[in-house]
Amino acid sequence: MVRRISLAHGEGGELTHQLIQHLFIQSFGHQDQTQFDSAILQGPFENIAVTTDSFVVNPIFFPGGDIGKLAVTGTINDLAVSGAIPEVLTAGFIIEEGFPLPDLKKVVHSMAAEAEHAGVKVVAGDTKVVEKGSVDGLFINTTGIGRITGEHQLKPETIREGDAVMISGTIGDHGVSIMSARQELGLLNEVQSDCASLNHMIHKLMQEVKGIRIMRDPTRGGLATTLVELCEEFHCTVEVDELAIPIRDAVHGACDILGFDPLYLANEGKLVLIVDRASQQQALNLLNKHPLGTEAKVIGQVTAQGNTAGKLHVRTPIGTTRRLHRLSGMLLPRIC
Amino acid sequence: MVRRISLAHGEGGELTHQLIQHLFIQSFGHQDQTQFDSAILQGPFENIAVTTDSFVVNPIFFPGGDIGKLAVTGTINDLAVSGAIPEVLTAGFIIEEGFPLPDLKKVVHSMAAEAEHAGVKVVAGDTKVVEKGSVDGLFINTTGIGRITGEHQLKPETIREGDAVMISGTIGDHGVSIMSARQELGLLNEVQSDCASLNHMIHKLMQEVKGIRIMRDPTRGGLATTLVELCEEFHCTVEVDELAIPIRDAVHGACDILGFDPLYLANEGKLVLIVDRASQQQALNLLNKHPLGTEAKVIGQVTAQGNTAGKLHVRTPIGTTRRLHRLSGMLLPRIC
C-alpha cells in the first residue's frame, strides 16, 4: 500500500490517475467533470469553463520559453481544447527568498506578452514568499476562465469507427528542450520547446470544421497517455501508425541516447484531435495553413467504438501491433 | 536598489504593495482592479468576481485548522468581502516527494468539508509533485469565482465623515495560533486560529443592511495594514480606539512576550467594515447574533473624507493619538 507521495504521482500517468480518482474526485465529488481538460460549469455560470494548473518546471528558463510563458500557454490550452474561448487568467506566485528580482521581472513580462498575444487578460494575482530552501526558486499557478459559445460544442459521444486521429505537429519537443536545458544532453541538442498558445488555431478550427469530436493537448504523459485516456473515457479503440507520427530527428536522437519513448514525452503546444473522417481533409488543410500546425498529420484512426475497455494500439515500423498503456512510473519530474 | 526577493515581499505590507504596484499591475495592466480583494470582471463575464491565493502556511496543521481549511476559507472570504457570492473553487496542489499520503487525505477531506459547509464546489484541480527538498511539504493554490448580485453592490465612493468602522471579532488569533503551532510559545498558548468562511454571515449582512460602504478581511498585515490600505484607496482618515478593539488576553500575552503588535497579526475569519452611521446598530445586532460575529464591535470612525492622503490614526489607552502605517519589514513568514 502506498503511504507516501512519489514523483510518479505528479507525472500525469497511472499514479496521478489513481490519486485523482481515489482521493480528489471522491472528496470533491465531480465525476462528471472528467470529460474535458477544463470544468464546464453549470447553474449561474452556465457556458463558463474553468481550469487550474501549477507550474514547477525546472529550470525556469529553457530553449523556447520560460515558466511564465508556459504558465500562460498551459492554462490557455486546457481551456481551448475543451472548446472554450479563454478570456481571463489569475496568477499565483510562490517565490523563494533571495530569488533575483530581474528574473522575476523577466518571467512576469513573458507572461504579460504571451497573454497579450493570446488575447487573454490576467485579472487577479497573489504573491507568497517562503524562506530560502522551502521552494526551489519560483512556482506559478494559473487558473483560467473561458466562454463556451454555440459553435464550440465538442461531441465526444459521437466518436465512431473510422474517425481520424490527428496531431498538429511534432511530438516530444518540450520534453527534450527541458532535458537539454538541464544539460542532461550536453551541447548535443538544440530542440526548442513547442510551448505556444493554441487558442487562435483551435478557434478557427472549431468555427470552420464541423466534425470535431474531441480535442486534447498531450502534455505530461505525452501523446500515448493522452490517447489512452481518450480511449478509456470514450470507450473506443484507436490505432496509430508509429511512422506517421511527426518526430524531429533531434528528438529521436535524444530519445535513443536516453532511452525515452517520444510517445510519452511532454508537449506544450500540440493538439490531438479526433475528427469525423469526412472532415479530416478540411481540418488538415486548415491546420497546415496555421503557423502552429504546418506539420499536422493524420496519425491513426478509431478502429472500434462502444466496447467497454478502450485501448490504444500502435502499428510499429515492422508491421506488428502493440498495445500502449498510460505512462507508469517516473519519466521526467518537473517538466511543466 | 532591491535586487532580490525578500520574505517581506510576501508579508502583505509595504514591499508587497510595491511589488504589486511596480511589477504586476504595470505588466498586467489592471489598475482598476485594486478596489476589492477580488477582480470584478467585465464584458462576457459581467458580475463575476475572481480571486486567487496560494497557501504556504507552516505548519500545515495548527490549532483550529489546517492548510486545506485555510485554502478554502481564505479564497471564499476574498470573494465575500468583495460583495460576491462564492460559488466555485479550483485547487492546485504542489506536493513534496515523500509527503505522507494520510496527511494529504486529511487536508483534502478538510477542504471538502469546509467547501460543503460554505456551499461552494471544488470544480477543477491540479497536482504537481516535486523532488524532496524542492518544496516544504505541501502548498495549495485556490482560485475562487463568485457572483455579484444586485443586492451585493458595495459603494466605497460613498464613504463619508462619521461612518462607523467595525470588526466582527477578536484580532490576532490566527497569527498567535500559528506561532503556537511552531512551538515558539511552548505550551503557554491555547489560542485557536479563527480560520472560518465568512460568506454566509456577509450574505445576511448585505441582504439586510443597506449602508455598507466597504468590507475587507484583515489577513496578512493584520487590521492595521488593511485599514491603511482602505484609507489610502478611498482617501479618508480613520481613527480607531485601541481599547475598543477586541483582543483575547492570551493574544495580548503572546504579543507582550514576543514583542508583536496584535494590530499587525493575521486574521483568517474576521471582517472589517465601514458602515453608514445610521446603519451601525443594525449591522452590529446582526453580526452579534451570528456565531462568527458574537464579539463584533464598533472600533472607530471615519474622521475625514476627500483628502488626498488617507491616514489611519489610533487613540491609545492614555488618550494620545498616533499614526499607523502598513506593515513594513518581516513579521511572520508563512502565516497563510
Looking at CA atoms only, how far is residue B52 from chain A in angstroms?
6
- Cα B133 to its chain centre, rounded Å, is 30
CATH class belonging to B36-152? alpha beta
- A297-305 and A164-167 beta bridge pairing: antiparallel
Instruction: With beta carbons under 8 A apart, name residues in chain A contacting B11.
Output: 129
- Cα A333 to its chain centre, rounded Å, is 15
Looking at CA atoms only, how far is residue B55 from chain A in angstroms?
8
- How would residue B1 be classed by pLDDT, with cut points 50, 70 and 90? low
Alpha-carbon distance of A104 to B112, in angstroms, equals 34
Alpha-carbon distance of B235 to B26, in angstroms, equals 22
Residue A125 contacts B where some CB pair is shorter than 8 Å = yes
Residue A256 contacts B where some CB pair is shorter than 8 Å = no
pLDDT of B26 reads 87
Residue B330 contacts A where some CB pair is shorter than 8 Å = no
pLDDT of B217 reads 96
* Cβ density class A266-290: b for 16+ within 10 Å, e for less: bbbbbbbbbbbeebbebbbebbeeb
pLDDT of B183 reads 76
Query: What part of A 96-115 touches B (C-beta under 8 Å)?
Result: 96-102, 104-105, 108-109, 111-112, 115
Residue of A nearest to B32 (CA): A123
Q: Closest by alpha carbon to A327, among A3, A10, A5, A6?
A: A10
Residue A58 contacts B where some CB pair is shorter than 8 Å = yes
Residue B257 contacts A where some CB pair is shorter than 8 Å = no
Residue of B nearest to A79 (CA): B124
- Cell match 533571495: residue? A98
Q: Do B130 and A136 make contact, defined as CB atoms within 8 angstroms? A: yes
pLDDT of B135 reads 95
Lowest mean pLDDT across A60-74, A79-93, B34-48, B204-218 = B34-48
Q: Do B141 and A141 make contact, defined as CB atoms within 8 angstroms? A: yes
**Which of A1, A90, A220, A334 is the best mutation test for B, with the most CBs of B within 10 A?**
A90
**Which of B22, B94, B143 is the best mutation test for A, with the most CBs of A within 10 A?**
B143
pLDDT of B270 reads 98
Q: Do B136 and A141 make contact, defined as CB atoms within 8 angstroms? A: no
Query: What SS3 class is residue A140?
Result: strand
Alpha-carbon distance of B322 to A43, in angstroms, equals 50
Residue A33 contacts B where some CB pair is shorter than 8 Å = yes
| H or E stretch covering A282 | helix A280-289
Residue B33 contacts A where some CB pair is shorter than 8 Å = yes
Query: What SS3 class is residue A305?
Result: strand
**Does position B90 have pLDDT exceeding 80, yes or no?**
yes
Write the DSSP assignment of B89-105 as a string of letters. EEEEEEEETT-BHHHHH
Number of C-alpha atoms within 13 angstroms, CB side, residue B38?
A: 32
Q: Closest by alpha carbon to A172, among A210, A229, A219?
A: A219
* Grid cell for residue A108: 512576469
- B311-315 and B321-324 beta bridge pairing: antiparallel
* Grid cell for residue A272: 490531438
Q: Closest by alpha carbon to A13, among A335, A325, A334?
A: A325
Looking at CA atoms only, how far is residue B295 from chain A in angstroms?
30
**Does position B268 have pLDDT exceeding 90, yes or no?**
yes
Residue of B nearest to A220 (CA): B128
CATH class belonging to A156-324? alpha beta
**Does position B285 have pLDDT exceeding 70, yes or no?**
yes
Whether the CA torsion A72, A75, A79, A80 is positive or negative: it is: positive
CATH class belonging to A36-150? alpha beta
10-residue averages of pLDDT along chain A (336 residues): 85 85 85 66 88 96 96 97 95 96 96 97 93 95 92 84 97 93 70 97 94 95 95 95 96 89 96 97 98 98 86 95 86 82
Contact at 8 Å (CB) between A217 and A229?
Answer: no
Alpha-carbon distance of A267 to A227, in angstroms, equals 13
For range B223-238, the mean pLDDT: 95
Contact at 8 Å (CB) between B306 and B27?
Answer: no
Size of interface A-B (CB pairs under 8 A): 272
| H or E stretch covering B59 | none
pLDDT of B29 reads 81
A199-208 vs A280-289: helix crossing angle, rounded to 10: 150
* Grid cell for residue A23: 482521493
Q: Do A52 and B90 make contact, defined as CB atoms within 8 angstroms? A: yes
Looking at CA atoms only, how far is residue A36 from chain B in angstroms?
11
Instruction: With beta carbons under 8 A apart, name residues in chain A contacting B48.
Output: 45, 48, 145
Of A9, A44, A94, the CB nearest to B129: A9
C-alpha pair distances (Å), B32 with each of A109, A114, A159, B21: 20, 21, 46, 12
| H or E stretch covering B275 | strand B272-275
**Does position B32 have pLDDT exceeding 60, yes or no?**
no
Q: Residue B241 forms beta bridges with which residues? A: B315
Instruction: With beta carbons under 8 A apart, name residues in chain A contacting B23.
Output: 104-105, 108
| H or E stretch covering B229 | helix B222-234
Alpha-carbon distance of A214 to B106, in angstroms, equals 36
pLDDT of B187 reads 53
The pair phi, psi for residue A117, each rounded to 5°, is: -55, -40
- Cα B31 to its chain centre, rounded Å, is 21
Q: For chain A, how big is the Rg over CA atoms in Å?
A: 19
The pair phi, psi for residue A245, each rounded to 5°, is: -75, 120
Query: What SS3 class is residue B52?
Result: strand
Of B5, B6, B126, the CB nearest to A104: B5
Q: Do B87 and A45 make contact, defined as CB atoms within 8 angstroms? A: yes
| H or E stretch covering A116 | helix A101-118
Write the DSSP assignment of B102-121 as a string of letters. HHHHHHHHHHHHHHHHHT-E
Q: Average model confidence (pLDDT) for chain B?
A: 91
Residue B321 contacts A where some CB pair is shorter than 8 Å = no
Under DSSP, the state recorded for A134 is: S
Query: What part of A 194-213 touches B (C-beta under 8 Å)?
Result: none
- Cell match 517520444: residue? A262
Looking at CA atoms only, how far is residue B285 from chain A in angstroms?
31
* Cβ density class A222-236: b for 16+ within 10 Å, e for less: bbbbbbbbbbbebbb
pLDDT of B25 reads 86
Whether the CA torsion A155, A159, A163, A167 is positive or negative: it is: positive
The pair phi, psi for residue A221, each rounded to 5°, is: 95, -20
pLDDT of B330 reads 61
C-alpha pair distances (Å), A14 with each of A11, A153, A328, A329, B132: 8, 29, 5, 8, 21
Count of residues making up chain A: 336
Of A4, A55, A334, the CB nearest to B98: A4
Residue A93 contacts B where some CB pair is shorter than 8 Å = yes
Q: Closest by alpha carbon to A110, among A57, A31, A160?
A: A57
**Which of A18, A45, A47, A52 is the best mutation test for B, with the most CBs of B within 10 A?**
A52
Looking at CA atoms only, how far is residue A76 from chain B in angstroms?
15
**Does position B332 have pLDDT exceeding 80, yes or no?**
no
What are the extents of the domains in chain A? 36-150, 156-324
Number of C-alpha atoms within 13 angstroms, CB side, residue B220?
A: 32
pLDDT of A333 reads 81
Looking at CA atoms only, how far is residue A17 from chain B in angstroms?
10
Instruction: With beta carbons under 8 A apart, name residues in chain B contacting A50.
Output: 88, 90, 123-124, 145
